[in-house]
Structure 1
Amino acid sequence: MDINVIFSFWLVSILFVLTPGADWAYTISAGIAGDKIIPAVSGLLLGHLIAALIVVVGLGAILASHVMLMKFLTLFGALYVVWIAVSLYKNPPVPAVYNGAASELGETPLKWMKKGFIISGLNPKVMLLFLALLPQFVFPTFSFSNTEQLLVLSVIHLIGCGFVYWFIGVSARKILSNNPALAIKFGRLSAIILFILGSLMLFDSAQKLLVHLQ
């Protein structure tokens, strides 16, 4: 593959990742919790990976042709994001160093990973990114097959995602770990942002579903 193509894709991809959204809000909450950064980021990356693989194996076109299925999936994803936001607001993450034994009784890493997967995996913007972006950087004239090119580009995107989300989580932990009161306020602010984004997703998904049913 041409290094210029790879760099161009990386630039567009990283700009997408650097745009604050539901992934950011969730990663910040995981950072405040202290030991939940890795499972939360892993869940987010798993969602991106599934979306990428769907496009790579050609299922993206199939899902795009089944409009109702996609609309119900995005509606479910939006509802879940809203539910996560409400849960985070009611029980904002507390820095682990101050949480003591209570942190051991909190949600398990697997739950943080599952929520991260739902947030990114059922986010229509992630799927649209791969559907709209990946094919533009695939060239039949290259020595690599189309599938191999798609896989390489997907890995580049996942590496960028992993680094950015990990950095956000670690930064949140370092800045807020010594100030539990501020951490709680910041956690609730993240929950509010997540709720707003989820509500917008929910409104958009429900509106498109109603239009399609009419």
Structure 2
Amino acid sequence: MDAQLLLACAGMMMLMVLVPGPDWAYILAAGMRDRSIVPALAGILIGYLAAVTAVAVGVGAAVAALPWVLIGLTFAAAGYLSYLGIRVLLQPPALATGDPPGQGASTAASDTRPWLRLAQGAGVSGLNPKGLLVLVVLLPQFTDTAGAWPIPMQLTVLGLIFVGSCALVYSVVGMSARAVLRSRPSAMRIISRVSGGAMVLLAVALVVEQVSHFVSA
């Protein structure tokens, strides 16, 4: 593939990932709540890897051609984000520590199940219609029909660039949130409320956007 095309794609993908969305809200909550952001981050990346695979084998084109599928994904994502956001609002997470149980470690942190965080992260990214739109709509624009590589392979490489951008940005976001909160413990409750509220607002925005498209159509 053309190097300039890859660089252009990498720049565009990085800009898309830097725009706050459901993934940001979830990884911020993980940074505040868990001893490690790895399970949550891995879940997000697994969800996007599954989406990249689907796009590469042609499922993405089928989804784009069936608007009702995207609508269904949108409402599923909105419901899931609402559930996660309301949980954070009702039960703000305590900052996890590396202390052994009984020596400062929070009960919520000690009860954290990595497989659950991984599954939740995969659900957040896998049901994120905006992420799917990036993979379905934007990636094909960077393919070269005259290139030596077949289109599915090009889409796979471009999709992996997107996943790599997610890994870089969300690692920084999650670890930065944790570092800031360690120096400012009093901000924990405020940021957790904002994070939970952001998930709920994003869910509402997803529904409103889809309804507005439906009405205008």
For 2:200 and 2:127, how far apart are their aligned partners in 1? 15
Query: Of the candidates 126, 146, 149, which is equivalent to residue 121 of structure 1?
Result: 126
For 2:182 and 2:49, how far apart are their aligned partners in 1? 31
Q: Please report how far the alpha carbon of residue 35 of structure 1 lies from its aligned counterpart in structure 2 after TM superposition.
A: 2.0
For the aligned residues, what is the CA RMSD?
Answer: 2.0
Aligned to 1:107: 112
For 1:101 and 1:137, how far apart are their aligned partners in 2? 47
Amino acid at match of 2:194: L
Change (3 A) 1:194 1:101: closer
Q: Give the conservation status (yes or no) of the 8 Å contact 1:34–1:173.
A: no
Q: Please report how far the alpha carbon of residue 104 of structure 1 lies from its aligned counterpart in structure 2 after TM superposition.
A: 4.7
Change (3 A) 1:82 1:210: farther
Aligned to 1:138: 143
1:148-207 alpha-carbon deviations (Å, 9 max, x no partner): 111111111111110110110000111102443311221111111111111111333455
Q: Give the conservation status (yes or no) of the 8 Å contact 1:34–1:96.
A: yes
Q: Please report how far the alpha carbon of residue 209 of structure 1 lies from its aligned counterpart in structure 2 after TM superposition.
A: 6.2
Aligned to 1:150: 155
Q: Give the conservation status (yes or no) of the 8 Å contact 2:30–2:174.
A: yes
Q: Please report how far the alpha carbon of residue 210 of structure 1 lies from its aligned counterpart in structure 2 after TM superposition.
A: 7.6
1:60-86 alpha-carbon deviations (Å, 9 max, x no partner): 122233332332222111111011100
Aligned length: 212
Aligned to 2:70: 70
% identity of equivalent residues: 31
Aligned to 2:166: 161
TM-score (norm 2): 0.89
Amino acid at match of 2:61: A
For 1:51 and 1:12, how far apart are their aligned partners in 2? 18
Give unmatched runs, 5+ long, in structure 1: none
Amino acid at match of 2:18: L
Q: Give the conservation status (yes or no) of the 8 Å contact 2:34–2:109.
A: no
For 1:61 and 1:23, how far apart are their aligned partners in 2? 23
Aligned to 2:55: 55
